A = this chain, B = another copy of it.
Amino acid sequence: MARFSFNISATDGKARTGAIAMARGVIRTPAFMPVGTAATVKAMKPEDVRATGADIILGNTYHLMLRPGAERVARLGGLHRFMNWDRPILTDSGGYQVMSLSDLRKITEEGVTFASHLDGSKHLLTPERSMEIQRLLGSDIVMAFDECPRADGSRDAIARSMAMSMRWAQRSREAFDAGEDHAAGAALFGIQQGALDEGLRRESADALTAIGFDGYAIGGLAVGEGQEAMFATLDFAPDQLPADRPRYLMGVGKPDDLVGAVERGIDMFDCVLPSRSGRNGQGFTWSGPVNLRNARFAEDTAPLDPRCTCPICAKYSRAYLHHLHKSHEILGAMLLTEHNLSFYQQLMGAMRDAIGSGRFATFTADFRRDYFQGRSP
């Protein structure tokens, strides 16, 4: 088997469906990757994550380097063995979360110095160290180290940041190739930056393509710009990236975000939304999101979503989920996270089927009619 291959089996408009083949398993695309921040998809056993239909999960370099530590994970046999997940894992580079979570950041050409949000300890993250950490974790898909600038910065600031990220992408490529990742079957993805600016996105895409990566991510979106601006950017950004490589939209999103992004040629997604919402009492359904804490569910014996095929909807009522969430029971977080992740995978599966049979436009129209039911996005 090839180390990494991407096969597009069908297209419908700009939407594509296919499969990424890797040593640890096949990833059906468009793919949604549940987020396993601290070596756990929160409130889920890994076998239940797999049973939702997930082919790959995401791990966070920033969290894992701080606790339990990348060298420690390596000594314990790597992230897969540590957390009992034997399929592919994509790790982010740490760049985004250093900016959003850590304290006392200082950014130079070398990298980012920051203080841990856990204990204040000082750390330096560089392209080389990010590659090393992701190698120590045993990542299957390694992300290049980038800077994710503020979306409201000036064009100059965004251009300077993007240019540095492209130099860091080159250093990531070199460090990755010098390591043992390649031989171990890992792939390296570059990350396009440039915020909402078509010209900067083009420059970034050209720089990444010149370096050459197994796949290409679109970074710097879903940072507060709103769906309209995100979709406007996705109207051109994916087309700037190589058509024969997977395109990964980082940190997205709501079900309607996923549908709109797949329409625009995206193949991969990750987001904490379905799992975080599950812990907070928000359930996703084909008829839109619902808040299970709402008193109207107290005696509702229906399943959360009558169209859902997940085991939670087969076994439990809205009334029970309401009771668990009102009572702050851990089982409430467990059951609603499992439903939400399963719903997301059912949505991805439905999109793959629709693209494969050339009826994606019908699918998206039906989805939006049911999901919004007259409400606006």
Binding site for B on A (CB under 8 A): 38-40, 42-45, 67-68, 72, 75-77, 82-84, 279, 298-299, 301, 315-317, 319-320, 323-324, 326-327, 329-331, 333-335
**Distance between A224 CB and nearest chain B CB, rounded to angstroms:** 28
Chain B residues closer than 8 Å to A298, beta-carbon distance: 68, 72
Please judge, given known A-B contacts A298-B72, A315-B84, A323-B68, whether A330 and B39 are in contact too, CB under 8 Å. Answer: no
Whether the Cβ atoms of A39 and B320 lie closer than 8 Å is: yes
The contact sample of 25 A-B pairs, CB cut-off 8 A, is: A38-B323, A38-B327, A40-B324, A40-B331, A43-B331, A43-B334, A44-B331, A45-B334, A45-B335, A67-B323, A67-B327, A68-B298, A68-B319, A68-B323, A68-B326, A72-B298, A75-B299, A76-B301, A77-B301, A82-B320, A82-B323, A84-B316, A84-B320, A279-B330, A330-B330
Chain B residues closer than 8 Å to A333, beta-carbon distance: 330
**Distance between A332 CB and nearest chain B CB, rounded to angstroms:** 8
Q: Which residue of B lies closest to A83 (CB)?
A: B320
Chain B residues closer than 8 Å to A326, beta-carbon distance: 67-68
Q: Give CA–CA (A299, B331) in the complex, Å.
A: 29
| Contact for A334 among B39, B324, B334, CB less than 8 A | B334
Whether the Cβ atoms of A334 and B323 lie closer than 8 Å is: no
Please judge, given known A-B contacts A317-B76, A320-B83, whether A334 and B330 are in contact too, CB under 8 Å. Answer: yes
**Distance between A136 CB and nearest chain B CB, rounded to angstroms:** 14
Q: 13 other contacts beyond A42-B330, A44-B331, A45-B335, with CB at 8 A cut-off?
A: A39-B323, A40-B331, A42-B329, A43-B330, A67-B327, A68-B298, A68-B326, A72-B298, A76-B301, A76-B317, A76-B320, A83-B320, A279-B330
| Chief secondary structure at chain A's binding surface | loop
> Among A42, A45, A329, which residue has the most Cβ atoms of chain B within 10 A?
A45
Chain B residues closer than 8 Å to A315, beta-carbon distance: 84
Chain B residues closer than 8 Å to A39, beta-carbon distance: 320, 323-324
Q: Which residue of B lies closest to A68 (CB)?
A: B323
| Contact for A331 among B42, B75, B324, CB less than 8 A | B42
Chain B residues closer than 8 Å to A330, beta-carbon distance: 42-43, 279, 330, 333-334
Q: Give CA–CA (A157, B316) in the complex, Å.
A: 47
> Among A42, A67, A327, A335, which residue has the most Cβ atoms of chain B within 10 A?
A327
Q: Give CA–CA (A356, B72) in the complex, Å.
A: 47
Q: Give CA–CA (A315, B83) in the complex, Å.
A: 9
Please judge, given known A-B contacts A323-B67, A334-B334, whether A329 and B77 are in contact too, CB under 8 Å. Answer: no
**Distance between A275 CB and nearest chain B CB, rounded to angstroms:** 10
Chain B residues closer than 8 Å to A43, beta-carbon distance: 330-331, 334
> Among A68, A315, A326, which residue has the most Cβ atoms of chain B within 10 A?
A68
Q: Give CA–CA (A317, B78) in the complex, Å.
A: 13
| Contact for A72 among B82, B84, B299, CB less than 8 A | B299
Chain B residues closer than 8 Å to A76, beta-carbon distance: 299, 301, 317, 319-320
> Among A84, A298, A317, A323, which residue has the most Cβ atoms of chain B within 10 A?
A323
Please judge, given known A-B contacts A76-B299, A330-B333, whether A319 and B44 are in contact too, CB under 8 Å. Answer: no
Chain B residues closer than 8 Å to A45, beta-carbon distance: 331, 334-335
Q: Which residue of B lies closest to A323 (CB)?
A: B68
Whether the Cβ atoms of B317 and A82 lie closer than 8 Å is: yes
Q: Give CA–CA (A83, B320) in the complex, Å.
A: 7
Q: Which residue of B lies closest to A328 (CB)?
A: B38
Chain B residues closer than 8 Å to A279, beta-carbon distance: 330
